[in-house]
Amino acid sequence: MKKSLLSVLIPGMLAIALSAQDATRGGALYKQQCSSCHGDALQGRSGPPLAGGDFRSRWPAADLIDKIKNTMPLDNPGKLTGGQAADLSAYIQQANAATPAVAAAPTSEFAPTGNLNQLMRGIMFPNSNILFTVQTHDPAEKKKAGNAATADGGFNWSMWGSDLYPGWDIVDYAAIALADSAPLLLTPGRRCENGKPVPVNDPDWIRFTKEMSDVGKAAYRASQTRDQQKVSDITGDVADACLHCHQVFRDRFRRGAGRGAGAASNKELRCTKN
């Protein structure tokens, strides 16, 4: 039996109408919940932009709904319902459809998965903390079984692997992680937390990256001596390497704006110098 023209067209027309209604609701919700971080026009502010070819390629519709529902808003993830996440996704997709596609900048063969903030917190931060722990804990000290767990049964990141590897080996691994992961800061195509490109060609950025790699190598050499004091001394250089980069590219504030690592103006200006 042949289908009538209306029977073919009406479902599609209904889907378009529903999508438009979803996007309208999503637009109103976006202004309430999202624009302060992502900008009134999805251009990005303290949070990354939600428009452009790079965003569309990373977040297809189905994945975008789940991301919104499970991780947004940043200060209260899970606050939004599935319906609200779907409405927001419809609005963002509609806004992107109205924006001409721009070719993405070429990236390396191994394109970055995480933004700069995630890379720092995933690799640099925990491994630096392992080195800093040497200031107060002798890696040669015999550990009792279960030391990797805290009193309440949670996981103690600073004691990671203590039940598996000798303490000095763990210090070696942390130093190597800093030295060998530092070049990841120069991966083309990586973005800052606010969506701005990491300034991989900036001379200062390159200099600070090399400083981090060099201090990681120095920490490894110190660790190889198995001398707690030598490693403790080198942690000052580790802290300085972090500080030098933070002062130029992270800890920046607009005049008269709030200060502190979590200030909105601070996040908005990260990865920029001027």
Is residue 104, in this structure, part of any structural domain at all? no
191 backbone dihedrals φ, ψ, rounded to 5°: -115, 155
- What is the predicted pLDDT for the residue at 261? 52
Q: Which residues contact 198 (CB under 8 A, 6 or more apart)?
A: 116, 185, 187, 190, 191, 192, 205, 271
Going from the C-alpha of 95 to that of each of 21, 51, 101, the distances in angstroms are 14, 8, 12
Judge if 83 and 156 occupy the same domain: no
Judge if 80 and 125 occupy the same domain: no
- What is the predicted pLDDT for the residue at 11? 45
Please state the separation of Cα 28 from the chain's center in Å: 27
Domain containing residue 188: 116-269
Judge if 122 and 193 occupy the same domain: yes
Judge if 232 and 157 occupy the same domain: yes
Structural domain count, the chain: 2
- What is the predicted pLDDT for the residue at 162? 66
Is residue 198, in this structure, part of any structural domain at all? yes
Distance (Å, rounded) from C-alpha 137 to C-alpha 228?
8
195-228 pLDDT, tens digit per residue, is: 899 999 999 999 999 999 999 999 999 999 999 9
Residues in the chain where the model's pLDDT stays below 70: 1-18, 20, 99-108, 143-162, 254-265, 274
- What is the predicted pLDDT for the residue at 7? 45
pTM greater than the 0.85 cutoff: no
11-30 pLDDT, tens digit per residue, is: 444 444 457 678 889 888 88
- What is the predicted pLDDT for the residue at 214? 97
- What is the predicted pLDDT for the residue at 242? 96
Judge if 65 and 174 occupy the same domain: no
Judge if 122 and 93 occupy the same domain: no
Judge if 134 and 204 occupy the same domain: yes
Judge if 127 and 193 occupy the same domain: yes
